[in-house]
Amino acid sequence: MAKSASFSCSACGAVSSKWSGRCDACGEWNTIVEDTPLSAGPASKSLGAKRGTTLTLTDLSAEETPPPRTQSGITELDRVLGGGMVPASAILVGGDPGIGKSTLLLQAAARFAGAGLKTVYVSGEEASAQVRMRAQRLGLGDAPVKLAAATSLRDILTTLEAEKPDLVVIDSIQTVWADNVDSAPGSVSQVRAAAHELTSFAKRKGASVILVGHVTKEGQIAGPRVVEHMVDTVLYFEGERGHQFRILRSVKNRFGPADEIGVFEMTGGGLAEVANPSELFLSGRGDPAPGSVVFAGIEGTRPVLVEMQALVAPTPHSQPRRAVVGWDGARLAMILAVLEARCGIPFAGLDVYLNVAGGIKISEPAADLAVAAALLSAREDSSLPAETVVFGEISLSGALRPVGQTENRLKEAQKLGFTSAIVPAGGKPGGKSGLTLTQLGDLTAFVGDIFGAG
């Protein structure tokens, strides 16, 4: 009896039992493709009646020396990786087109090769001469990195088996195709098969593999989410085209802290690492202005100070605009509702614009109080003191809740010359921070004490 066919969406990875013109999960058209079952591969590789080989079992208590990490010398990259490159690891790097993924990985490959790793850079999007030309522009023409331009998975694996490299860069996984999978390159089946084979090669041979992944219009890595589960580390390369800053963010890391970030600056000679991102993000901040508030945040394990900018203006339209860049739009709507319901400050008939300066994206709830302060400052046309930082979480009841790592936030603020901080009551600042703290219990007290109204 023949097995029923399986179909999946090449945009979101949803699986269905029949083909249709439109995906029910994501709504995209003409993205349903048929999946080739694993048993359709070569007969020598399929599971038959033969027994497998015996696995080597070891005790959990067995003492083994952990594999040594190799540091690239790029401090920001090593920080995001958790202290350096782990042997036999698989890393997935995603980012918008033209953001600098290939430039970063070419610089990293040259550094790792200089550190003693045998490195192979495989490009499926450029010819070897084009990669070499880019390396010369970056001043890496003498780096001992071997280049290849190929898209066939079989040819790539055959070459890697012969070369036995320590580090492999595949740019990109969407261009690699396996000849035993009957679907177009870039489809769900092809990406899944190629990622599985390359990850298996990394574990089997002890080589580290870096896969470059394209992203969808929503900002997620294209292809099935199962690819992110296959690899050990998932990194996102973020940034705005209009800003020179680039953020390398870890969203998954089996060998180090997740949500760690590395900050780079795009220059004419490639990507330069930024040792003090807080100072860089605040470098363009001028005199105190209404709607400008400095937020002391935490990204991974490092404190980062950024400027929150708000603009509140009367609207000529019946439906006011709510525009957000670098923060969650739903959380902005919640802050506006709490200000109106708990403090009696309406924003009806007013357009609200919120921006996180520098092109960085903030996701932690600790930015609630800084956003509320920026909105009130813009609405009342009253600026906060320039040497004040603000952080804290706002609940739906209007209460201010303390956040974690308060001491690290205050130390970073003091290091950059700030003298005072507005924080929720009940926090644990730790030792002497050297800052004048204003601790408030709820949003109504914040509005009354800071802006003189409640």
The 3-state DSSP class for residue 301 equals coil
Residue 175 is encoded by which pair of tokens?
């261009």
297 belongs to an annotated ligand binding site: no
Q: Which amino acid is at 339?
A: L
Asked if the bond preceding 172 is cis, omega within 30° of 0, the reply is: yes
262 belongs to an annotated ligand binding site: no
Instruction: Give the start-end residues of each E strand in 350-412.
Output: 350-356, 388-390, 393-394, 400-401
257 belongs to an annotated ligand binding site: no
431 belongs to an annotated ligand binding site: no
* Closest C-alpha among 189, 253, 254, 257 to residue 226: 189
Element (H, E) at 437: strand 436-440
Exposure of 111 in the CB half-sphere (CA atoms within 13 A) = 19
Say if CB 322 and CB 333 are below 8 A apart.
yes
Residue 75 is encoded by which pair of tokens?
């401090």
Instruction: Give the start-end residues of each E strand in 55-139.
Output: 90-95, 119-123
98 belongs to an annotated ligand binding site: yes
**CA-CA distance, 176 to 194, in Å (whole number)?**
7
224 belongs to an annotated ligand binding site: no
290 belongs to an annotated ligand binding site: no
Q: Say how many C-beta atoms besides its own lie within 10 A of residue 57's C-beta.
A: 5
433 belongs to an annotated ligand binding site: no
Known binding residues for ATP:
95-102
Known binding residues:
95-102
